[in-house]
Structure formats: C-alpha cells, structure tokens
Homo-oligomer: A and B are copies of this chain.
Amino acid sequence: SSATAPIKATLFPGDGIGPEIAESVKQVFKVAEVPIEWEEHYVGTEIDPRTQSFLTWESLESVRRNKVGLKGPMATPIGKGHRSLNLTLRKELNLYANVRPCNSLPGYKTRYDDVNLITIRENMEGEYCGLEHQVSVVESLKIITRQASLRVAEYAFHYAKTHGQEKVSAIHKANIMQKTDGLFLKCCREVAEKYREIIYEEVVIDNCCMLLVKNPACFDVLVMPNLYGDIISDLCAGLVGGLDLTPSCNIGEGGICLAEAVHGSAPDIAGKNLANPTALMLSAVSMLRHLELNDRADKIQDAILNTIAEGKYRTADLGGTSSTTDFTKAICDHL
C-alpha cells in the first residue's frame, strides 16, 4: 500500500494539550506506516466572518474535500459573538451522528468489567440549536425533526448490524416531551421495522442512567437525541475510566467522518508533556476503520491496548508517571 498515493486527511490539533497528543498520533501512524498524509489546520486567532467562528473557511473546506479528519480538543477562544468551535464544525459539515464507543481497557481496572457500549448521538439539533430568548421568563427551544431523527436512527441500526450488535436502545423522555422525544421514538420505530434481526427497545433517560451504573451489560448500541447523548456518553466514559480513554467519531452527510477526542484541552497541563493521547489515538483508529484500513487500525489499537495493559508506561491520569512522549514511544515499540 505504500506504493499507492497516500490518503489525505485533515488534522485539527486543537489547543491546550491538543498539539502534543496530535504529535503522538502522527508518530504512531508513521511507525505503523499508515498511508495517510495529514493536512493540518489550526484554529484561527481572529473570528472568520464567513463562519462566525475562529474556525476558518479553508479548514472546513479541507474536511469537505478530504472527507476524513481528526480533531483534537478545542476550547481556546472564550469570548462573545462567536459560536463554539465544536458546534460550528458539526453544523457546517452536517455531522449528524456522533458515535462514541466505550470499552473497558484490558488491565486497567475500574469498578466495571467488560464494558462494551456504543452511544450514537444525534449531533445537530435538540437543545443545541442555539435558539433562546428572554421574555418575562427565559426560554430555550429544543428542536426535533423527522429527517434528523430518521437518519441518526438509520445510522444506529446500520451500525448495530454491521458491527454484530444485538440490540438498539432508543433513549428518551417522551413521557414528558411527548412531541419532541415522541417524534424521535416514532422515527426509531420506523427504522426498527426494517431491521427485524436487531432487537429494539425504548428506555427512559433517567432509568437508562440507573441501569448503566448498576449493570452496563444491559445495553449494546444506544441511540438518542443530542443532549441525552452528551450526558450518556460521558457517563459511559466514566465507567471505563474517563474521557481520556474513549474515541469518538462524527459522521456527516456525504460520507464525511470527523474523528475527535472529546475531552477538554486541559490548559493546566498543556505544554508539560503530561497529556494522555489515548482518546485521540483511538479516535484516529476509528478514522482508519472508516477508511477500511483495518489492518493498520488493528495493529495500532493492539499496540495502544497492550501498552496500557502492561502498565509500565502510563500517563498520570491513569496513575502512572510516563510523559506523553514516553507513552507514545512505548506504543511505537509495540508496533
């Protein structure tokens, strides 16, 4: 495969610890001889009036052109008059489904064994539509559409089918929000009809949280509106040790796949060679699977998991003393 032209992929290192962990990914990919050429894009320092964000039009174009990308944490510009970078990306690129698998890491003990959960989150509407106003009271609008609900449901069932998962659980609060969450459920049911081989169930969000902490094995693939997905995916990440350890991938219209680490940019440890690059690396691995570079994906994933399992090289968040670069080198040595 090194003879064929490399695949171009956009890379947003992000800010805070972003550049360091992105560097780790680049090294590991190099050692693993992954045929990818990164097209790096930085977050701007001025608001681009075309995007109303610190994200430039050129960087968005890069993802549109390459159709695959990897994104580090982005928190930088706290200020007024611009949209969150994460939301701008999701909106501008139509990244409608957010896939957050969550698996126990062999050898890294938490209270839970063998967690294997996939949260699939509608990624563009719900409470995230940004419509709020102040009348005599303050109101936020939650928006659910048939189109967005159908496509994320379709994605979830297709994911379950192609990944050998038995069950899709739709998470909701339709007993309270009968119209919005009710519509979401209706769409899930319609799609479920087409996938008779997949078990389909509906679980109220509060009950879902209780069941997850009592016994995560209750669930396989969980599909839900935006805000619930935000909450449930973090809960799941907590079960296996935290956001430093779980990959995430945004799926867009037209086959776009933007993998991302969803943890923060941790400005307190930025530049100190202390960050854990695992979430970004596993996200990069999911990007490789999207590109059907499964052999490379497997090799890199094994190297990451083995390094953590052996326990000799771990970053501070996992109770170890390794620097980002030492941990990365240990992974490279496994390759």
A residues near B, CB below 8 A?
84, 87, 110-112, 127-128, 130, 132-134, 137-145, 173, 175-181, 183, 205-207, 209-214, 227, 230-235, 237-239, 241-243
Contact = CB atoms under 8 A, between A and B. Distances in A.
Contacts of A232: 209
B175 A84 contact: yes
A242 B137 contact: no
14 contacts: A111-B112, A128-B176, A138-B143, A138-B179, A139-B141, A139-B143, A139-B144, A140-B181, A206-B234, A206-B235, A211-B238, A212-B238, A214-B238, A214-B241
A179 B134 CA distance: 8
A174 B268 CA distance: 22
Contact of A206 (B111, B137, B144, B233): B233
Contact of A141 (B112, B141, B207): B141
B138 A173 contact: no
Contacts of A145: 137-138
Contacts of A128: 176
Nearest to A148: B137
Contacts of A111: 111-112, 213
Contacts of A134: 179
Nearest to A136: B145
Contacts of A234: 206-207, 209-210
A180 B139 contact: yes
Contacts of A179: 132-134, 138-140
B180 A209 contact: no
Contacts of A132: 177-180
B143 A142 contact: no
A207 to B, nearest CB: 6
Contacts of A173: 127, 227, 230
B211 A177 contact: no
A143 B241 CA distance: 35
Contacts of A144: 137-140
B238 A183 contact: no
A210 B214 CA distance: 15
A180 B133 CA distance: 8
A141 B145 CA distance: 15
Given A206-B230, A212-B238, 19 more contacts: A87-B176, A111-B111, A111-B112, A127-B177, A130-B176, A132-B177, A133-B179, A138-B179, A139-B143, A139-B179, A140-B141, A173-B230, A176-B227, A206-B231, A206-B233, A207-B234, A209-B238, A210-B235, A214-B242
A305 to B, nearest CB: 20
Contacts of A238: 209-214
Contacts of A137: 143-145
A142 B135 CA distance: 13
A143 B128 CA distance: 15
A176 B127 contact: yes
Contacts of A207: 234
A205, A206, A242 interface centre (most CB from chain B within 10 Å):
A206
